[in-house]
Amino acid sequence: MCILLFKFDPRPVSKNAYRLILAANRDEFYHRPSKSADFWDSSNEILSGALVTNFLTSDLDSYSYLKKVAAEGHLYNGFNLLAADFNTTEGDVICYYGNKGEPDPVFLSPGIYGLSNSLLDTPWKKLQYGKQLFTEVVERSQDLTKEDLVQELLTVMNNQEPQLPDPAIEDQGKEYIRPILNQYAAVCVRCPGYGTRTNTVVLIDSEGQVTFTERSMINEDVNQWKTSTYEFKLHT
């Protein structure tokens, strides 16, 4: 179970406002090998982990890429994809496609969204609670320093309060999830050997300055974490 929360504002009216505020948790088995996000090569043009490489290296816009993916969506297990174009002549664009939902990608209007192990904005209680906490921080974002905003978003993503009862999450998880339901039904999942092992915060301000912060577990130990921050400007 992962969770992703974001606010999209393609035309912020204030210089202190953000075009994108995104916070996400990556949940999986602690022992699974993985790499931290990093620039791929000396050109420093792509910063990511090892996922969604086709879009990052293609010349397609976000909608065209997701439309291409949707044509083969029925061949795969359930997945969600968000793709965005910033600094385009038409303005910022974010598109969404989930292969268990509508047949075509959709353009997202400005606003606050949440995504977990279901379709966009499926009203699981943990997702609704996460959006509430996220919204409270975002509404104060212009009054916070960038560093304080990142820290407050990380606090949101590490909230371990279970949001129960939630029949929807129980039904999807069935017998597997019931023994760990209390931990699983929180924004931050913390179970023996499985749970939240990476927090990611992405900020894009009105001038196209990007701040990418990743907090990752070290040595499968929930008490050891490493934080990396990258700052750069989007290509115009």
Q: For residue range 158-200, what is the model confidence (pLDDT) as tens digits?
A: 999 999 999 988 888 777 788 888 899 999 999 999 999 999 9
55 to 10, 25, 29: CA distances (angstroms): 21, 21, 26
Q: Is the pLDDT of residue 201 over 80?
A: yes
Mean pLDDT, the chain, integer: 91
Q: Tell me what percent of the residues of the chain surpass a pLDDT of 90.
A: 70
| pLDDT given at position 145 | 96
Model pLDDT, residue 234:
87
Structural domain boundaries, residue 141: 3-233
State yes or no: pLDDT of 1 exceeds 70. no
Tell me the pLDDT tens digit for each residue of 20-47.
Answer: 999 999 999 999 888 888 887 776 778 8
Number of domains in the chain: 1
For residues 110 and 52, which has the higher predicted lDDT (pLDDT)? Answer: 110
What average pLDDT does this structure show over 208-232?
95
In this predicted structure, what is the pLDDT of residue 171? 85
Q: Which of 16-20, 57-61, 146-150, 207-211 has the highest mean pLDDT?
A: 146-150
* Weakest mean pLDDT among 150-159, 164-173, 198-207: 164-173
pLDDT digits (tens, 9 = 90+) for 49-91: 685 778 888 899 999 999 999 998 888 888 999 999 997 667 8
pLDDT of residue 83: 95
Higher pLDDT, 11 or 225: 225
Give percent above pLDDT 70 in the chain.
Answer: 97
CATH of the domain at 69: 3.60.60
